[in-house]
Each structure stands twice: as structure tokens, then as C-alpha cells.
Amino acid sequence: MSNLSMTHPPTSLQSRGLGQLSCVGVRQYVLRFPLMLIECVGESGKTTLIKQMIELYGAGFSIKERKALTRIVYCNILNSIRTLIEWSHKLESRGIQGTEISDLNIVHEEYITNLSAGTRINSEIANHIEELWNDPGLMMTYENRSKFQLFSNADYFLDRIQEIGKREYIPSKTDVLRCRVQTTGIIETEFVIDDFEFRMVDVGGQRTERKKWVHCFEDVSAVIFVAAISEYDEFLYEDESVPRMREALCIFDEICNSRWFAKSSLILFLNKRDLFDRKLP
């Protein structure tokens, strides 16, 4: 994802929460600065945008804050490997060849499937996950990931499973940027750049979350619309018959024609080029 750049780094920064970002509002408190809003479908990379600003222009993430995200990383990994296991069977039943997990790795599949929610990943669990991740059938399932919902950074964490399974593991700065928590409700992050104080408002990107915030931003002077170009072949969590890109275009149309943003400038930010490049032949 592209890094942001500013003329001066913020002198102070407070974060009240992180999650799946759908809109970011910057409100004027000191001197004059335009309010900004960032909006698109869920998992378009807007939370990463917020976290990069905290890391690059604020105090960054302390060890305590990074430790607090350890269980989120575990959850991302377990959900990802279980999703791959589930879809290896579904794709096989739909006639897609090569997605069946080998007989030698069935024991690892059963072990992972039977783990309870919130399990801490240790070295033993990491070994089971690594064997499954290296299974040809599961790798073929991963290659067909556009046919189902899979965490976009699943491969990043699964490739590093042995490191993550160590007792002393603490999420790195990159891990913090890449882990995912879906936002529900509204979360705010505040920071100051010289004489300017900003408040960034973070809300959920899924359909059920959008209705909670759109009417709150009628004073927006600039709208930054973020869309993940890597999602051109992916579908919504809420409705797997609807392509994410089509949904993004619909939301873009709503924002452009909304009475709440009639006087707002509009900027389109195309995100996740790195993932897009990896999908190209």
C-alpha cells in the first residue's frame, strides 16, 4: 500500500481504537483544515491507512500495544487455515481438481479443526498449520481464493507461522499493519500537526455499518474514496453473488450524488496495488 506523506510529523497522537476502516473524518479544531472522509466496502485497506499514519507520523505502536494484538494475529491465522480447509472440500465437490487435502495431512486437518476458539498458537500448533499450508491441495485451494472469502493477508501470516508460534512472539510493525479486525460502531483517532488538531472517525465498511454514519458528515469539505483494485474478482461477505468492485462503484455513485456531500470535493484512492499485481498473469 502507498505510504502517506505530510510536510510535518504530528507532535502528539492518540488512538482510541483500530479496526476495519470504512470512513475517516478529519475535523477542524485549530486554524483551518478541511474535513476528510474515506469510504468504501469492507476490507479495502483503510485501517492500514490509519495505522500507517500512526506509525509514520506519531509515536508509533508501543510493545504493549503490539502485544495486545497477538491474539488478533492468532485469530486471523486460525480463521484463514480453517477457511482453506473448508473450501478445499467445497471446491472438490464442485469439480475443481487438485484441491483435496492429501491423506497424509488428514491428521493435521482434524487437529486444527478441533481447536477451540481463542486458542494460542504454540510451536505444536504451528507445525500442524505449516504441514497443511504446504499441502498441494490446500495450495490449489488458495490459488482459487477469488471463489470464496479469505483474509487478504492470509499468506503473509501463514508463511511466518513458525516465528509466530514461538513463545516470545510479539507482533512486528508489519504484523500490526497487516492484521485485521472488523470495526463495528464508530472509533476515533486524534492527532496534532503543528497548530492543527485532527479527529479521524473510523467506522465499519460492511453494509450494515454504513447507515450509522453517512448523515453525520454533511460538513465534509473533501471526500477521499478508497477502493481496493485487487478485489476486482472477489465478492461481498454479505452477499457472495455481488462483486466487490460493483458494490464499490454503487457506493461511489451514492457518495457523488448524496445531498450530504453536495459541496464536497472528491478524491478517488485506488488501494492494494501490490495484491493486484500478484493476481496478474
* CATH number for the domain that contains residue 108: 1.10.400.10
What pLDDT shows up at residue 186?
67
- Are 223 and 37 spatial neighbours (Cβ–Cβ below 8 Å)? yes
Q: How far is the CA of 23 from the CAs of 89, 202, 260, in angstroms?
A: 37, 5, 14
SS3 readout for 17-48: CCCCCCCCCCCCCCCCCCCEEEECCCCCCHHH
177 domain residue, yes or no: no
| Cα 206 from Cα 237, distance rounded (Å) | 8
Q: What is the CATH number of the domain that holds 31?
A: 3.40.50.300
DSSP per-residue letters across 222-250: EEEEEEEGGGGG-B-SS-TTSBHHHHHHH
- pLDDT, one tens digit for every residue, the chain (281 residues): 433 333 333 333 333 333 333 444 433 333 434 345 565 566 777 777 778 777 776 677 899 999 999 999 999 999 999 999 999 999 999 989 999 999 999 999 999 999 988 899 999 999 999 999 999 999 999 999 989 989 989 999 999 999 999 999 999 999 999 998 776 666 666 766 677 766 666 665 555 656 666 666 666 666 778 888 888 888 887 777 888 888 888 888 887 888 877 887 787 888 888 888 888 87
* Number of independent structural domains in the chain: 2
Q: Is 56 annotated as a binding residue?
A: no
7 domain residue, yes or no: no
What is the number of alpha carbons within 13 Å of residue 231 lying toward its C-beta?
29
176 domain residue, yes or no: no
Question: Which of 170, 195, 230 is the C-terminal boundary of a domain?
Answer: 170
Model pTM above 0.85 = no
What pLDDT shows up at residue 219?
67
Q: Is 58 annotated as a binding residue?
A: no
257 Cβ partners below 8 Å, 6+ apart? Answer: none
What pLDDT shows up at residue 48?
77
- Are 189 and 214 spatial neighbours (Cβ–Cβ below 8 Å)? no
Copy the grid coordinates of residue 198: 485532527
Assess whether 163 and 89 both reside in one domain.
Answer: yes
What pLDDT shows up at residue 237?
72
What pLDDT shows up at residue 18?
33
211 domain residue, yes or no: yes
Q: Is 43 annotated as a binding residue?
A: yes
Assess whether 272 and 213 both reside in one domain.
Answer: yes
What pLDDT shows up at residue 13?
34
Show which residues are catalytic: 43, 48, 180, 202, 206
249 domain residue, yes or no: yes
Q: Is 64 annotated as a binding residue?
A: no
3 domain residue, yes or no: no
Assess whether 100 and 21 both reside in one domain.
Answer: no
Assess whether 53 and 130 both reside in one domain.
Answer: no
Q: Which domain holds residue 48?
A: 12-61+182-279
What pLDDT shows up at residue 103?
94
Q: Is 189 annotated as a binding residue?
A: no
Assess whether 218 and 265 both reside in one domain.
Answer: yes
Assess whether 187 and 50 both reside in one domain.
Answer: yes
Q: Is 195 annotated as a binding residue?
A: no
Question: Which of 121, 150, 170 is the C-terminal boundary of a domain?
Answer: 170
Q: Is 25 annotated as a binding residue?
A: no
175 domain residue, yes or no: no
Q: Is 14 annotated as a binding residue?
A: no
- Are 56 and 49 spatial neighbours (Cβ–Cβ below 8 Å)? no
What pLDDT shows up at residue 257?
85
Q: Is 160 annotated as a binding residue?
A: no
Q: Is 46 annotated as a binding residue?
A: yes
Beta strand pairing call for 196-203 and 265-271: unpaired
| Cα 122 from Cα 167, distance rounded (Å) | 7
Question: Which of 145, 170, 195 is the C-terminal boundary of a domain?
Answer: 170
